[in-house]
Amino acid sequence: MEMPSLLPHPGAHWVGRRDWFALRRRTGWRPAKGGASAEVAAAEEEEAVGTGGRHGRERRRLLLMGAGRSEAPMEHQGRAAAAPAAAATITTTAAATAVSSPPGPPASASSSSGEPGPGGPVLEPRRREPARRRASSTSAASSSSLTSSASAAVDSQFRGAASGVSRERPGSYSGATHATRQRLESLKKNRPLFPWFGLDIGGTLVKLVYFEPKDITAEEEEEEVESLKSIRKYLTSNVAYGSAGIRDVHLELKDLTLCGRKGNLHFIRFPTHDMPAFIQMGRDKNFSSLHTVFCATGGGAYKFEQDFLTIGDLQLCKLDELDCLIKGILYIDSVGFNGRSQCYYFENPADSEKCQKLPFNLKNPYPLLLVNIGSGVSILAVYSKDNYKRVTGTSLGGGTFFGLCCLLTGCTTFEEALEMASRGDSTKVDKLVRDIYGGDYERFSLPGWAVASSFGNMMSKEKREAASKEDLARATLITITNNIGSIARMCALNENINQVVFVGNFLRINTISMRLLAYALDYWSKGQLKALFSEHEGYFGAVGALLELLKLP
Amino acid sequence: MKINIGKLDSCVLITQPAQFLFVTESFVGKVLGMPERQILFCPGSELFLLFLSTGGSLTKLAYYSTVQHKVARVRSFDHSGKDAEQEHEPPYEISVQEEITARLHFIKFENTYIEACLDFIKDHLVNTETKVIQATGGGAYKFKDLIEEKLRLKVDKEDVMTCLIKGCNFVLKNIPHEAFMYQKDADPEFRFQTNHPNIFPYLLVNIGSGVSIVKVETEDKFEWIGGSSIGGGTFWGLGALLTKTKKFDELLHLASKGQHTNVDMLVRDVYGGAYQTLGLSGNLIASSFGKSATADKEFSKEDMSKSLLHMISNDIGQLACLYAKLHNLDRVYFGGFFIRGHPVTMRTITYSINFFSKGEVQALFLRHEGYLGAIGAFLKGAEQDNPNQYSWGENYAGSSGLMSTSPELFPMQRARSGTFDLLEMDRLERPLVNLPLLLDPSSYIPDTVDLTDDAMARKYWLTCFEEALDGVVNRAIASQPDAIDAAERAEKFRQKYWNKLQTLRHQPFAYGTLTVRSLLETREHCLNEFNFPDPYSKVKQRENGIALKCFQRVIRSLDSLGWEERQFALVKGLLAGNVFDWGAKAVSDVLESEPQFGFEEAKRKLQERPWLVDSYGEWLQRLKGPPHKCALIFADNSGIDIILGVFPFVRELLFRGTEVILACNSGPALNDVTYNESLIVAERIAAMDPLIQSALREDKLLLVQTGSSSPCLDLSRLDKGLAVLVRERSTDLVVIEGMGRAIHTNYHAALRCESLKLAVIKNSWLADRLGGRLFSVIFKYEVPAK
């Protein structure tokens, strides 16, 4: 079932970005330039996170917001112009890190550590500061624009704000009447306080959705807690955070009305192994003072609950993964994609010439088979908004694809793995029906092109030697994808459902898999099953968590 | 068409039907270096090479032979009854005759022998019109050119799946305990299934390089319902890439030593320690190879192999469950090289099936899984002979046990049995079926004690059979005083059976569930193998003679009793007769040392009432009621047992107006009365007793054969003629006599009609177990619940 290299996906311009998963492997490459430094740090970070290894354990806590890690993505974004500024501003944290990180800290970081900073968030003890300090940083922040080039400045302000603002605890401070009144108003409207986050902590990736209110009145603006403002600005004006945090700008939902507030919904992701750093940041920036509720789902909501509490002083509201997923999907489908359709399908998926991605109107969503492909795969049968069941799942998912690719090809990022796969030929690796029967196996109506044995050719030494890394990556992708398709098809048959929606981050920028799923489902079901996809692939759990926060149905 | 291939073993090889190809036993022995079998192929034996299947590393050879072997026959003297009554005259004569039976042989050997094998065939394949050889399996492609070039024969590629399924149906029907469940860490690991009367429908999941899932609905109807490309080839190919280990077996070995948790992302890795609160098992794999994506480190070959094995086994198990569910099936048989003889893969597949089906689907494996294709090809090639109309029985003497060549389990074993794995099946002359009176054929288990399960009992019985071996050997030699090689053959028999017992000590599961019955049957097969068709023929002859002389006196004495006394005397006679059992060491010792030990002495040995199991009261009450329509009696020993115990009992039933079907073994086993002997005995009794005579004449007393040659009784494998008769005559009483038939087997058998199970316990260990003593009496009268 080989597929040619496929059409670019709307997200295709993200391909090749190495920041994503960049921390994966020590052997991974990075472009030289300023990025190199980040790479070293990143690699060390990996050690620390993964094995508690040789180099500076504390570093992990800086990861997300820290150091030069944002450089690489920025370059890719064509915002190189901002780099010098960034380099300058980064230094506070980088310098702090450098203290505890042995092998050759990045030149850019050490040379430009001009701004002293508050001694590094890692080492900084929690202490209360007078609110006055906050005002000065606010004025600095307000002067910065929302343009992306200002990100570095914002970054610096964020940090500044964090170290200053966070100490405010409403109620413990007599001057907080404004804030109190605002809160009371909010409560009246039965609306939680800003910021509005939804968090989905998966096995590999953390998905974060953030609602940015755009209808803030002048009064509100004035009363807005400084840290809140800086969070908003930090998140909305950057597209990359730390070494591997990404905001999927192309997914941003604009002019959304949520609980009577108008605003934009932002979609951000970062590796799960950066969670400790994220929590540390929450502590450093004193999120707990905002009295916001962190609605989180995914396995990590359990795994990191204690860390959130003890390190970040944050109480997580843990939510059921599947509830959130379904809620998120239904909501996102209902609001569309900035005027376009959220749901789509492929016509002529096997034909590279004629293949078309077409919008699909999911006006009759039920029953629906929902296949969520993250690190592993969950399959749900959804009969109505509140009536669904988990049918089954498989451990052969995105994590398997990427894990095997790492082992087989030495690749270091998901993007790299996909890019290799796009150039490979799986038929050199897989044994096809025609390799065994010389053509179609008519007795069982099996077409000659069907894969009889995944990696079957690799039983032979000669063929092992003849297969390229790209071929292996392609075969891994085809194997995992076909298998998911096969299990999904059987579930659809068993549950008597004929529309199958595939979601999850495995499908991000992965048109090969989507087209293969579309084709395989159609072919083996003789046209009975339809494979559907959704633009916001992996973010539904996080959206669902946000909706829970807002108590939306 | 015949081809004389020279004087090799004086065999004439015949090609018939034409597409078959032939080799001799010595070819197998000499060319392949296999220890030669002891079957004596006489001129005229036909050997058909039916099938050549060459897979990854093994070649499978199936051939069909007609084996000529000796059988003991009994025949009435050709003179009037009066002469025979004279003293010292035996009641009938015994002759040894040659009999031809069909046997199927299946051999697996390593591919290295294939060229030598083909050369040999070519050298001897003169003047043949054979143009086509049937072959199947991946090797049929690999070696196609070699075969065609060497033999100038066209290779007819049999459809692999058709052969596989034909073979599967065949073993499921014909081989007891063919299917088993595998549970690692359970004792025993192998749990064999009794043959289900209706094997259809089932799912066959064949895991070769890919996976085929086939739904089998009837003998001829099957459907490929799906498959998966993630199979044995994926394990092998991907495993070779990841570990640089080239051999499949080595990969499995690596896997058996690995820790998949180092490579896989588990639920506990995602949820932290909190998974318990969610009712999840933290050990579940969330993402196979998930850690190799998120951690930067080297992974051991062992760990990666293990992770790969789990990934593939789980995936196959999951798909199998999905297909089973869709088609509403609960039996799934697994086969293919991924499974074959590998406890590691059986374990992971079983785990996966249990997990995904929540216990609703059973993962079953087959003892002769590796032969399915070969058997199927034979059946397909021999369709005009309609082999399915016969029943077949596994020959324990000629078959190597399960896993005999599995290096994982038994490194020593492999060295001993070499690289050959054998299966032989004897064609039985008549089809075998269930006794129609079984309450629930699907749950019927003939054997009372499962020795695979019961280690204490196993130990005892194996020792018991070892200790009895000398006696059996001596008896065998004594039975053939004129044969000069008797001692030599008997010694070979001793070796063979001894080895089987040793194998069973280490692998109780080698031939399915180990039972006293299988131990007894194996001994009979081994004796036959070395041409001791009936070691007890002379003993039986003498004892029948003596008992016949006492018959009239016994009848007169019974007739003089009042009704109630007579009923008790008849039962006591049955029991006393049953004491005469050469199979029981306690008795054979007595019989050897006290030649005068007789019927009256035996009665005195019996336990006094109340017996160990005693429902005589109920039985007597029943006899006061209306007569039974028809009684089916399974007889046990020759001599006093059948003549002075069973026949008077039969006579009383006939007198009451009950018809009687008297069922005796088809072939000899110990001193059990055979069908042929029973015919002579009945004839002789009829001459003395008008009641028996008229009953025989009027078909009110019917003598039938059981279809078995075992000292035990399997009510699910009985001669079809018997079953037909039982139904025709509306049989409403079944009498089962003797330890082998009523205690070792069938003690718990539930029937749809009244039954009487009676035996004298002639083994002190068994007596102990049942809470009784030597010569305790079991008298179990059962009436089915309304």
B317-351 pLDDT per residue, tens:
999 999 999 999 989 999 888 887 788 899 999 99
Tell me whether residues A399 and B290 touch, CB distance under 8 A: yes
Report the alpha-carbon distance of residue A400 to residue A377 in Å, rounded: 10
Give B684's contacts (C-beta < 8 A, 6+ positions apart).
B81, B84, B91, B548
Interface test with A, best of B225, B264, B296 (most A CBs within 10 A): B296
Query: Using a CB-CB distance cutoff of 8 angstroms, which residues of chain A are in contact with residue B296?
Result: 23-26, 43, 46-47, 50
Residue B130 reports pLDDT greater than 80: no
Res B310: pLDDT: 95
Report the alpha-carbon distance of residue A315 to residue B171 in Å, rounded: 63
Would strands B47-54 and B132-136 be described as parallel, antiparallel, or unpaired?
parallel
Main-chain dihedrals φ then ψ at residue B673, nearest 5 degrees: -75, 135
Res A186: pLDDT: 54
Report the alpha-carbon distance of residue A165 to residue A175 in Å, rounded: 14
Distance in Å, alpha carbon of A58 to nearest chain B alpha carbon: 18
Res B58: pLDDT: 58
Average pLDDT of chain B is 80
Mean local confidence (pLDDT), A78-85: 37
Residue A510 reports pLDDT greater than 70: yes
Asked if A409 is an interface residue toward chain B (Cβ–Cβ < 8 A), one would say: no
Q: List the catalytic residue out of A58, A168, A305, A321.
A: A321
Cβ atoms B420, B395 nearer than 8 A? no
pLDDT band, very low/low/confident/very high, at A194 (cuts 50, 70, 90): confident
Q: Is A465 in the active site?
A: no
Q: Give, in degrees to the nearest 5, the angle at Cα A349 between A348 and A355.
A: 60
Report the alpha-carbon distance of residue A254 to residue B776 in Å, rounded: 93
Query: Using a CB-CB distance cutoff of 8 angstroms, which residues of chain A are in contact with residue B295?
Result: 46, 50-51
Residue A183 reports pLDDT greater than 60: no
B674 DSSP 8-state letter = B
Hey, what domains does chain B have and what are their CATH numbers?
30-76+88-173+373-433 (3.30.420), 179-263+299-366 (3.30.420.40), 455-530 (1.20.1700.10), 536-782 (3.40.50.10880)
Measure CA of the first residue to CA of the last residue in chain A; give whole Å: 42
A122 three-class SS:
coil
Q: Which residues pair with B613 in a beta bridge?
A: B778
Tell me whether residues B159 and A204 touch, CB distance under 8 A: no
Residue B23 reports pLDDT greater than 70: no
Q: Which residues pair with B572 in a beta bridge?
A: none
Tell me whether residues B325 and A494 touch, CB distance under 8 A: yes
Higher pLDDT, B33 or B373: B373
Res B117: pLDDT: 62
Report the alpha-carbon distance of residue A322 to residue A540 in Å, rounded: 10
pLDDT digits (tens, 9 = 90+) for B541-585: 988 998 999 999 999 999 999 999 999 999 999 999 888 877 777
Mean local confidence (pLDDT), A433-443: 79
Res A221: pLDDT: 83
B39 DSSP 8-state letter = -
Cβ atoms B32, B396 nearer than 8 A? no
For residue B146, which of B117, B115, B108, B123 has the smallest C-alpha distance?
Answer: B115
Positive or negative CA dihedral for B314, B317, B319, B322?
negative
pLDDT band, very low/low/confident/very high, at B28 (cuts 50, 70, 90): very low
Res B403: pLDDT: 59
Residue of B nearest to A300 (CA): B271
Query: Using a CB-CB distance cutoff of 8 angstroms, which residues of chain B are in contact with residue A408?
Result: 241-242
Residue B16 reports pLDDT greater than 60: no
Query: Using a CB-CB distance cutoff of 8 angstroms, which residues of chain B are in contact with residue A442?
Result: none
Mean local confidence (pLDDT), B142-153: 64
pLDDT band, very low/low/confident/very high, at B60 (cuts 50, 70, 90): low
- At B616, list the tokens: 């005589």
Tell me whether residues A479 and B323 touch, CB distance under 8 A: no
Express as a percent the part of chain A with pLDDT over 90: 44
Higher pLDDT, B508 or A545: A545
pLDDT digits (tens, 9 = 90+) for B469-506: 998 999 899 888 888 899 999 999 999 999 999 989 98
DSSP for B87-138 reads TT--SSEEEEEEEEEEEEEEEEEEGGGHHHHHHHHHHH--S----EEEEESH
Q: Which of A53-67, A408-422, B622-636, B640-654 has the lowest mean pLDDT?
A: A53-67
Interface test with A, best of B163, B213, B294 (most A CBs within 10 A): B294
Query: Which CB contacts under 8 angstroms, 24+ apart, belong to A73-78?
Result: A73/A17, A73/A19, A73/A239, A73/A240, A73/A246, A74/A151, A74/A240, A75/A31, A75/A33, A75/A34, A75/A35, A76/A16, A76/A17, A76/A19, A77/A148, A77/A239, A77/A240
Cβ atoms A420, A468 nearer than 8 A? no
Higher pLDDT, B522 or A190: B522
Q: In what order do the strands lie in the sheet with B222-228?
A: B190-192, B179-182, B362-366, B331-335, B202-207, B211-216, B222-228
pLDDT band, very low/low/confident/very high, at B421 (cuts 50, 70, 90): low
Asked if B288 is an interface residue toward chain A (Cβ–Cβ < 8 A), one would say: yes
Residue A460 reports pLDDT greater than 50: yes
Higher pLDDT, A193 or A399: A399
Res B163: pLDDT: 80
pLDDT band, very low/low/confident/very high, at A267 (cuts 50, 70, 90): very high
A32 DSSP 8-state letter = S
Residue A541 reports pLDDT greater than 80: yes
Q: What is the dihedral of CA A179, A185, A187, A193, to 10 degrees?
A: -50
Res A209: pLDDT: 95
Mean local confidence (pLDDT), A390-418: 95
Query: Using a CB-CB distance cutoff of 8 angstroms, which residues of chain B are in contact with residue A486?
Result: 226, 228, 319
Main-chain dihedrals φ then ψ at residue B699, nearest 5 degrees: 60, 30
B5-19, B267-281, B673-687: which is most confident: B673-687
Q: Choose among B224, B232, B314: nearest Cβ to A395.
A: B314
Q: Which of A388-397, B92-101, B253-262, B740-749 has the lowest mean pLDDT?
A: B92-101
Mean local confidence (pLDDT), B610-635: 96
Q: Which of A28-32, A304-308, A445-449, B119-123 has the lowest mean pLDDT?
A: A28-32
Map tokens 């196996």 to a residue: A441
Mean local confidence (pLDDT), A346-363: 91
What DSSP element (H or E) covers A433? Answer: helix A433-437
For residue A332, which of A247, A267, A388 has the smallest C-alpha distance?
Answer: A267
Q: Residue A253, by phi and psi: left (phi above 0), alpha (psi -120 to 50) or beta? A: beta
Q: In what order do the strands lie in the sheet with B701-705?
A: B613-614, B777-782, B754-760, B733-737, B630-634, B659-664, B701-705
pLDDT band, very low/low/confident/very high, at B87 (cuts 50, 70, 90): low
Q: Helices A275-284 and A151-165, interaxial angle, to 10°?
A: 60
Express as a percent the part of chain B with pLDDT over 90: 45
What DSSP element (H or E) covers B144? Answer: helix B144-151
Q: Choose among B227, B246, B289: nearest Cβ to A400.
A: B289
A227-231, B185-189, B748-752: which is most confident: B748-752
Res B551: pLDDT: 94
pLDDT digits (tens, 9 = 90+) for A487-502: 999 999 999 999 999 9
In A158-180, which positions are buried (b, 16+ CB within 10 angstroms) versus exposed (e)?
Answer: bbbbbbbbbbbebeebeebeebe
Q: Please state the pTM of the whole predicted model.
A: 0.75
Half-sphere exposure of A223 (CA within 13 A, CB side): 17
Q: Which residues pair with A286 in a beta bridge?
A: none
Residue A82 reports pLDDT greater than 50: no
Res B7: pLDDT: 23
Distance in Å, alpha carbon of B336 to nearest chain A alpha carbon: 13
Higher pLDDT, B402 or B337: B337
Distance in Å, alpha carbon of B646 to nearest chain A alpha carbon: 59
Res A287: pLDDT: 80
Cβ atoms A443, B161 nearer than 8 A? yes
Report the alpha-carbon distance of residue A242 to residue A280 in Å, rounded: 13
Q: Choose among A305, A396, A430: nearest Cβ to B274.
A: A305
Mean local confidence (pLDDT), B376-401: 70
Report the alpha-carbon distance of residue A356 to residue A346 in Å, rounded: 6
Whether ipTM tops 0.85, in short, is no
Res B389: pLDDT: 67
Q: Which of A418-422, B59-63, B371-375, B443-447 has the lowest mean pLDDT?
A: B59-63
Report the alpha-carbon distance of residue B188 to residue B64 in Å, rounded: 34
Higher pLDDT, B755 or A278: B755
Map tokens 């799946």 to a residue: B161
Q: Give, in degrees to the nearest 5, the angle at Cα B323 between B265 and B326.
A: 120
Report the alpha-carbon distance of residue B378 to residue A302 in Å, rounded: 60
For residue B189, give the amino acid letter. Answer: E
Report the alpha-carbon distance of residue A459 to residue B22 in Å, rounded: 34
What DSSP element (H or E) covers A483? Answer: helix A469-495
Report the alpha-carbon distance of residue B207 to residue B577 in Å, rounded: 55
Residue A147 reports pLDDT greater than 70: no
Residue A76 reports pLDDT greater than 90: no
Cβ atoms B349, B33 nearer than 8 A? no
Distance in Å, alpha carbon of A47 to nearest chain B alpha carbon: 7
pLDDT band, very low/low/confident/very high, at B277 (cuts 50, 70, 90): low
Tell me whether residues A494 and B234 touch, CB distance under 8 A: no
Query: Using a CB-CB distance cutoff of 8 angstroms, which residues of chain B are in contact with residue A400?
Result: 287-290, 311
Res A291: pLDDT: 74
- At B620, list the tokens: 């007597």
- At A25, list the tokens: 């492997």
Mean local confidence (pLDDT), A298-304: 90
Res B44: pLDDT: 36
Cβ atoms A297, A199 nearer than 8 A? yes
Res B600: pLDDT: 84
Res B144: pLDDT: 65
pLDDT digits (tens, 9 = 90+) for A26-68: 333 333 333 333 333 333 323 222 233 333 333 333 333 333 3
Cβ atoms B13, B2 nearer than 8 A? yes
Res A497: pLDDT: 96
What DSSP element (H or E) covers B394? Answer: strand B391-394
Q: Choose among B210, B278, B322: nearest Cβ to A452.
A: B210
Higher pLDDT, A518 or B401: A518
